[in-house]
Amino acid sequence: MSYFRSLALVAAVSLAAPALADGIEVHDAYAIASRPDAPSGAAFMVIRNDGGPPDRLIAVRSGVAARTELHTHIQGADGMMQMVHVTEGWALPTDGEILLARGGNHVMLMGIAEPFVDGEELALTLIFEVAGEVNVVVPVDLSRLGGGPMDPGQMDHGEMNHGEMNHGEMNHGEMNHDEMNHGEMDHGTGGHGTADHGTGG
């Protein structure tokens, strides 16, 4: 049994119902990698605050990767898109949401322990300033690769080998993002993740 599957089965026992943690809900969560042997992948979801206190997503971690970070895409002074680590996280106001979508904010998984297998699941821990740690089970849905920045030949994170990158030294502005075809990114629709208020993962 793979690490992804066994980890998901343990977590799913307590995460079978839609999650509420101080008003926090996680919807439409999924993970992808550019190819089966890619050393990195990404996860996307919608994080909502249904009447809870204002909060902030400040970090994320997962046992399936050597490094797990909050990332986003920004336009540099030269007009080219750059991927950056968002160390300050994102605000989650009362009755607001954080959209983690392709081409924008997302969870980056670098140095993944085993290949992503379509239909299996992985566990993430979202860390908030107020709500604390929220455990999320995220399905791998490789059918959602099409037309987005994780497509092979466009933005292949496997080729970048994020597991060995020092983001503090890497000049993302030198990457030819014109070839990534950001204009064709889409969030898509798909399966729902589940979450619970936990103490780690």
Kindly write down the DSSP assignment for every residue of 81-96, as one continuous string: EEEEE-TT-EEE-TT-
Is residue 186 within 8 A of residue 144, CB to CB? The reply is no
Q: Which of 114, 28, 119 is nearest to 64 (CA)?
A: 114
Q: How far apart are CA 54 and CA 22, in angstroms?
A: 10
Domain that holds residue 25: 3-197
Reported confidence tier of residue 93, pLDDT bands at 50, 70, 90? very high
Q: How far apart are CA 179 and CA 98, in angstroms?
A: 27
Q: What is the mean pLDDT of residues 102-129?
A: 94
Reported confidence tier of residue 185, pLDDT bands at 50, 70, 90? very low
- β-sheet bridge partners, residue 80: none
Q: 134-172 pLDDT, tens per residue?
A: 999 999 999 998 654 443 333 333 333 333 344 444 444
Looking at the structure of the chain, the number of domains it has is: 1
Burial of 36 (0-12, 13-18, 19+ CB in 10 A): exposed
Is residue 133 within 8 A of residue 200, CB to CB? The reply is yes
Which structure tokens are listed for 46? 């919608």
Q: What is the CATH number of the domain that holds 132?
A: 2.60.40.1890
Residue 186 is given by DSSP the state -
In this prediction, residue 20 carries a pLDDT of 54
Reported confidence tier of residue 46, pLDDT bands at 50, 70, 90? very high
Q: 117-138 pLDDT, tens per residue?
A: 999 999 999 999 999 999 999 9
Angle at 3 between CA 164 and CA 113, to 5 degrees: 10
Q: How far apart are CA 144 and CA 141, in angstroms?
A: 6
Reported confidence tier of residue 81, pLDDT bands at 50, 70, 90? confident
Reported confidence tier of residue 29, pLDDT bands at 50, 70, 90? very high
Please say if the pLDDT value at position 111 is more than 70.
Answer: yes
In this prediction, residue 139 carries a pLDDT of 96
Whole-model pTM: value is 0.67
In this prediction, residue 187 carries a pLDDT of 42
Q: What is the mean pLDDT of residues 74-94?
A: 91
Secondary structure string (H, E, C) spanning 3-45: HHHHHHHHHHCCCCCCCCECCEEEEEEEEEECCCCCCEEEEEE
Question: In the chain, what percentage of residues exceed pLDDT 70?
Answer: 62
